[in-house]
Structure 1
Amino acid sequence: MKNLLIIFTIILSANFSNAQNFKFGKVSKDELQEKFHPIDSSSSAAILYRNETISFYYTKNQGFVQQREVHERIKIYNKDGFDWATKKVYLYNGTQQKESLSGLKGFSYNLVGGKIEEDKLKKDGQFEEDNSEFTKISSFTLPNVKVGTVIEYKYKVTSERISIDDIIFQFSIPINKLDIRIATPEYYVYNKQYNLQASYLPKLVVSSENTTIPFEYKINVLTVNEENVPALVDEAYSGNINNYRSKMAMELTAYLNNLKIIEKSFSATWEQVSKTIYDSDNFGGQLRSFSIYKDELEAALTGVEDDFEKAFIVESLVKSKVKWNGNYGKYAQNGVRSAYKDGEGNDADINLMVVSMLRSKGVNANPVVLSTRNNGIPLFPSREGFNYVICSVQKNDEYLLIDATEQYSTNNILPQRVLNWQGRLIEDKDASRWINLQPNISSTESSMLNVTINEDLSVTGKVTKRLTNYLAYFYRNKYTKMIQEDRVKSLEKDKGDIEISGLSVENDKDATQPIMVNYEYELLDGIDEIGDKIYFSPLLFLATKENPFKLEERQYPIDFVIPYSEKSFVNIQLPEGYVVESLPQSTGLEFLDANVKFTYFVKQNGNFLQLKAQLDIFNPLILPENYKDFKNFFSKIVEKQAEQIVLTKA
């Protein structure tokens, strides 16, 4: 019966969709009266209609010019959906190629007294800002948006670029009706590839048309016409959700001349991709030696023989001289010379500089191009699939990976954004290969907790915590710039009625050393007293209180990012006049061939109770087909940590 009801709802929704008028401005009372989405009732908003049309027209002076037209109608169900009333359009703003936005129209529709009232987007709701050296943002916010509002807008982007941005099929809210049309002249050959990690893949229809304007040629046409596109819902520990978004990449792979013969070919294989990247003046041209840094480099490396030690010194030198401007790119934005002189550059300026310096000193250093976590994983040979570059240093069979854009990253401890499967190491225009980017050493968080139970049943003691590798890196990025008061508040959060004092941190600014955190605490709600017995969880505020994996089904992998180990050592002094009635049972749990292990051991040693709990994540990626088993496994961990020690009066 339940399944029949769901099917009926979907059919009813589809029929309503077909009956809707999606002509711009033809918003209906039914759309405005709708209180929640008929299929996804939890959604804060829904795209009622999205139409995207990409085409090219020919001009005598410019040749083919790209034109992208967007028309979107969105329903706002609650306050969480208000953000959808603001739209940002990213426009390329290069020195030779530019994009411009035109034809912008927008309205907000509300039902007032049974009548539809509309508010027009005006100039005071439109804004422009620079995003980077090569992009600007044209944004607009629709007026008078309330719960129940329907907004609608359309605009046109004219581009001198031949490259086509990714075609997005899925957003964080559902789409009722999606119409996409991409029409490209036969002279441009594009490689088309779905994101195969997406759980939703639309049907793509391929056709062709002929035109005689302004001359005779064929147009290749791709269309997508879909209904009820599901929302892309973020899930706990899913990594970057964009990796699982339904989308299609279209990369220019060749030009044809008037005789329909390939005039220039780009990325057909990964070797060709690497060669094309290396041949750029803004990549391979930046790897030679530059005189501007010669004297400082010479002084810094005097007497240093070991290549890895040279790499560490060069990384530190570059960090001291050049700051990252926040821009991504596989190509240098300013160039090594200008970046060193001006003290600022993008990731390629900085990391190609590291390669250049090390090569000038005979070190086997090479650039590694990669796709950041928010850019997805390139599944087919693609120049556009790479958007970042780091440095690799090889000594015998050992490798160091370096990203000098951040203060607290260090050798083989890279920013989280670049930990995305593998990168392409490019030695020269003829030699390249894949290199693993995933951490192969475990990071550790070890906590030692001393516990004293006082007469008033408050708990006091001291915590000593040691963090290594990536966990130390994450701590530094989160806490080092905080003032002491904010650090304490952050530590006290979600730990119950606790007061932390005497906080001290060692090595928080030295990325080569583990971090040591020490503090004292007083906990007022850690003990329950019933009659002549007291009950408490031995892990107190260190315990995981609830299972973060709550969904019945999961579409995406669980991504813990890095292999790591959490170790907790607890030493509890028995309060005077009490004896142990019961202790939790020691246990060991394993998941999927010991990819994840949990051990829990507790014993009495004289007047002390001693506990060791350890969670080891050896493989940080849990696939969706193993989700239910892992969810149950993690529930057992939470349950075990919640088990209580029972003390009774002697």
Structure 2
Amino acid sequence: MIKKVSQVGCIVILLFMGLSHNAFSQDYEFKKVSKEELSMSVYPQDTAAPAVYLHKSRNTYYEDDEVKGWVLYTDVHERIKILNKDGLDYATRKINLYLKGRLKERVESIKAFTFNLEDGKVKSEKLSKSGIFENMETDNRLEVSLTMPAVKVGSVLEISYRIVSPFFTSIDDVVIQEDIPTAHHYTKIQILEYFQFSRLIKGNFNANPKDYTDTRRIDFTYEQGGGLTSTTKDAAAIFEEFISEYEYMHVPALKEERYVDNIDNYRFTVVYELSSTKSQSGVVKEYSKSWEDVVATIYKYDGFGKQLERTNFFKDDLAGVLDAASGYMDRMNRIFDYVKSHMNWNKRYGMSAASGIAKAYREKTGNTGDINLLLTAMLKEAGLNANPVLVSTRSHGIPAYPTIDGFNYVIAAVEIDGQRYLLDATEKMAAPNVLPNRVLNWSGTMVMENGLSMSVDLYPKTISQVSTMLNVELDDFGDISGSVRANRTLLEALDQRRAFENESSSKIEEDLMDDYNLDLVSDLELKNLNDTSKPVSMSYSFEKEGAVEIIDGDIYLNPMFFLGMYENPFKLDERNYPINFVHPYMHRKIINITLPEGYSVTSIPEALNISLPDGLGAYTFNIGQSNGKLNVVCSITMKQAVVPSLYYDTLKEFYGQRVAKESEKVIISKS
């Protein structure tokens, strides 16, 4: 049964989005695809949709297996309409199955057809066994792919299958909102009286399910007697069952745009978490935990807390690292640099040490747990106040409820003179409090020896800066040449260091040509690429033919050239999830333009100075002319890493004004 219904923390806003929630008379019988469905060319509620779920249903329920005991069944039925060529991606349906040891989920009873309208008649083609593929994604995850036949724009796909799971205490999330709209969604979850679940809602909707209790009869057979006198008997058991039905019409697509951490955090989803089980004899076992319980459990892992006590293997090396060190800051920086240079990340995530920090140290490689727990152990051995910080990466999302699986990464935290420094030694180009983007996901949990834990804000407060100077010479043919010099600090510097790591100068020059649509880039110079204590400096020369418009002898030039923003990144009419810039930033550009001899300015854009409310940010654009030169000073500042969705309309207008201003032309004419 359901223990409680709750909304999930900061990522849920209680907004009822106008979904129809009632009983439906339409019958979605399998293979009964209509000519009207096949003739549909657009979905009226979302005319830009590449495809639409005409019907999406699921029924999850328990059955008793004589050998295996309780088994969880999930029956799925989907009908998808392909509306344009982008919707052809839905020609492949992927089913994920979980495996653990000798236990594994399986998919059975697969039925799938592609329907097309040909010469006014409905034609169908069945999925063959050759269109079904299996692939082991990880040690615990099997992916089954169904590649549908004869799919084209206008097709209707119909798929049904059953998942049989021995993991009867784990109910898969009910995903109600997809990347395409859903005309009709129906889910039925039937939970026997022996299992109690908490229910949590993710997304910007009110689930409003139909909940009720019913009784259910399960028939079974058993053997009576033994040997030659053994007989098979039929019997039945009556159980109480808690049922939830979720039914909706016209669920809108979850549309993603720029500046989002992980779109699945905001998808309309019902999450079921096992809270307790009850045996037939009435014995109750509790499963629900608090985050404090989860952290305490993780700390007791051999791969976590005990690793911090294993220091003998590095003591001699640590003494050499700290030789002549002065003060705690110097100690921290020396140890951090040493671990970064000594260890190599194998690109695997983990909140605990996979190999053990001693073995990883010997082999100079390990996962995130191996490396950053080693870093923490060294910092503690050096007398610093250091502790590990558990993290869920951006790709991992925000956990809906307290669970050990909610974390997949660990970093180190050091407290010096009231200042906290966050360190990640898997990133060789990182600096203290300059974490890679993958880690910047709301908050982490610092774990201390006394069993206590505390939340740690992972987003930086210091503004990362990019300062760019562009010098341009324009001739009367409309060609430009000049130079660029740019300096980057903190996370902006880290991004560039990672982008240019192991790249040759010629490859970087080619990339700059492609990125900015230039004809030639030369004389590239990079400074401090490997010195993380200093800003990264980059300079180069460039050339571009036909960079401006010439109409009736007048030259129309965009004074921002290839440094301007010409498209608003915010396009949605409504956005109900935060705008995530990853980190606070300031971008400042100075552009000096030398006009061709004999030309003067006849039209020039006006200055613009605008600010966001509550001190969130500001934008300035100023342009002037003097002695045959134009000078532009443009800057944008965003003071928060994450901006709440309530500011979306304001931010969209703010960026719209920026784009409009940077798109304005200067007109120059012959004197």
Aligned to 2:144: 138
Q: Within 1, Cα distance between the matches of 2:305 and 2:59?
A: 37
**What secondary structure, in the 3-state scheme, does the structure 2 residue paired with 1:171 have?**
coil
Give the superposition deviation at 1:425: 1.3
* CA apart distance, 1:303: 4.5
Q: In 2, Cα distance between the equivalents of 1:421 and 1:238?
A: 12
* 2:631 aligned partner: 610
Gap change, CA 1:510 and 1:630, over 3 Å in 2: same
Distance 1:200 1:402, change over 3 A: same
Q: What is the identity, as a one-letter code, of the residue corresponding to 1:537?
A: N
User: Which range moved further: 116-125 or 518-527?
Assistant: 116-125
Residue 609 (structure 2) pairs with residue 588 (structure 1): yes
Matches of 2:335 and 2:142, distance apart in 1? 34
Deviation at 1:567, TM superposition (A): 0.6
Post-superposition offset of 1:345: 4.5
Q: Does 1:229 align with 2:235?
A: no
Percentage identity across paired residues of the two chains: 33
The SS at the match of 1:353 is helix
Match of 2:482 among 461, 477, 486: 461
1:6 corresponding residue in structure 2 = none
Q: Are 1:207 and 2:229 counterparts?
A: no
Deviations 1:492-548, CA, capped at 9 Å, x for gaps: 346456432333333344444322221111233344445675443322221222323
> Partners in 1 of 2:362 and 2:273 — Cα distance?
35
Seen in structure 2, the aligned counterparts of structure 1 residues 519 and 83 have a Cα distance that, compared at 3 Å, is same
Equivalent residue, structure 1, for 2:575: 554
Q: Is structure 2 residue 512 aligned with structure 1 residue 505?
A: no
Alignment: residue pair count: 635
Q: Quick one: which of 411, 414, 419 aligns to 2:432? A: 411
Shift of 1:490: 3.4
1:446 equivalent in alignment to 2:467: yes
TM-score (norm 1): 0.87
**What is the correspondence of 1:93-492 to structure 2 with a 5 Å cutoff?**
93-95=99-101, 97-161=103-167, 162-195=169-202, 198-211=203-216, 213=218, 217-258=239-280, 260=282, 262-267=284-289, 269-289=290-310, 293=314, 296-304=317-325, 306-319=327-340, 323-337=344-358, 339-340=360-361, 345-378=366-399, 380-428=401-449, 430-482=451-503, 484=505, 486-492=507-513
Q: What is residue 55 of structure 1 aligned with on the other side? A: 61
Alpha-carbon offset, residue 170 of structure 1: 0.9
SS of residue matched to 2:28: coil
Mapping of 1:534-553 within 5 angstroms?
534-553=555-574
The 8 Å contact of residues 449 and 571 in structure 1, kept in 2 or not, is answered as yes
C-alpha change, 1:589 and 1:18, in structure 2 (3 Å) is same
- Identify which range, 589-598 or 324-333, moves more after superposition: 324-333
* Cα 1:221–1:390 shift into 2, 3 Å: farther
Distance 1:200 1:545 in 2: 34
Shift of 1:455: 4.4
Superposed displacement of residue 257, structure 1: 4.9
8 Å contact from structure 1 (residues 468, 514) kept in 2: yes
**How many angstroms apart in 1 are the aligned matches of 2:85 and 2:549?**
40
| One-letter amino acid of the structure 2 residue matched with residue 278 of structure 1 | Y
Higher alpha-carbon deviation: 202-211 or 240-249:
202-211
Instruction: Please identify, of 245-254 and 310-319, the stretch whose mean Cα deviation from structure 2 is larger.
Output: 310-319
In the alignment, the residues of structure 1 paired with residue 256 and residue 273 of structure 2 have an alpha-carbon distance, to the nearest angstrom, of 28
Q: Which amino acid aligns with 1:568?
A: K
Question: What stretches of structure 2 of length at least 5 have no aligned partner?
Answer: 1-18, 221-236
Which stretch shifts more, 365-374 or 460-469? 365-374
8 Å CA contact 1:57, 1:65 repeated in 2: yes
Distance 1:547 1:322, change over 3 A: same
Does 557-566 or 204-213 show the bigger shift? 204-213
| Counterparts of 1:181 and 1:114, CA distance in 2 | 36
Q: Which residue does the alignment assign to 1:70?
A: 76
CA distance in 2 between partners of 1:359 and 1:97 (Å): 41
Give the AA of the match of 2:661.
K
Structure 1 residues 10-68: Cα deviation after superposition (integer angstroms, max 9, x where no partner): 99xx99x8434333x33333322322223222111112222223333445665534333
Deviation at 1:80, TM superposition (A): 0.9
- Assess, with a 3 A threshold, how the Cα gap between structure 1 residues 189 and 636 changes in structure 2: closer, same or farther: same
**Is the Cα–Cα contact under 8 Å of residues 468 and 588 in structure 2 kept in the other structure?**
yes
Q: Distance in 2 between matches of 1:573 and 1:77?
A: 52
Shift of residue 382, structure 1, vs aligned partner: 4.3
Opposite residue 29 of structure 1, the aligned amino acid is K
Instruction: Give the aligned residue type for 1:590.
Output: S
Q: 1:116 to 1:134 in 2, by over 3 A?
A: same
Distance 1:343 1:255 in 2: 45
1:32 corresponds to which letter in structure 2? L
1:4 alignment partner in structure 2: none
Asked if structure 2 preserves the Cα contact closer than 8 Å seen for 1:242 and 1:374, the reply is no
Superposed CA RMSD: 3.3
Distance 1:116 1:512, change over 3 A: farther
Helix, strand or coil for the counterpart of 1:164?
Answer: coil
- Taking structure 2 as the reference length, the TM-score comes to 0.85
Secondary structure class of the residue paired with 1:266: coil
Residues 61 and 494 of structure 1: is their aligned pair in 2 closer, same or farther, counting only changes over 3 Å? same
Alignment deviations for residues 210-240 of structure 1 (CA, whole Å, 9 cap, x no partner): 4564766543333212222111111233343
Q: Could you report, residue by residue, the CA deviation over 1:559-613 in whole angstroms, capped at 9, with x for unpaired residues?
A: 2221101111122334433445554433422111331111223334555433211
Partner amino acid, structure 1, of 2:178 = F
Quick check: 565-574 or 472-481, which moved more? 472-481
By how many angstroms is 1:480 displaced? 3.3
Secondary structure at the counterpart of residue 433 of structure 1? strand
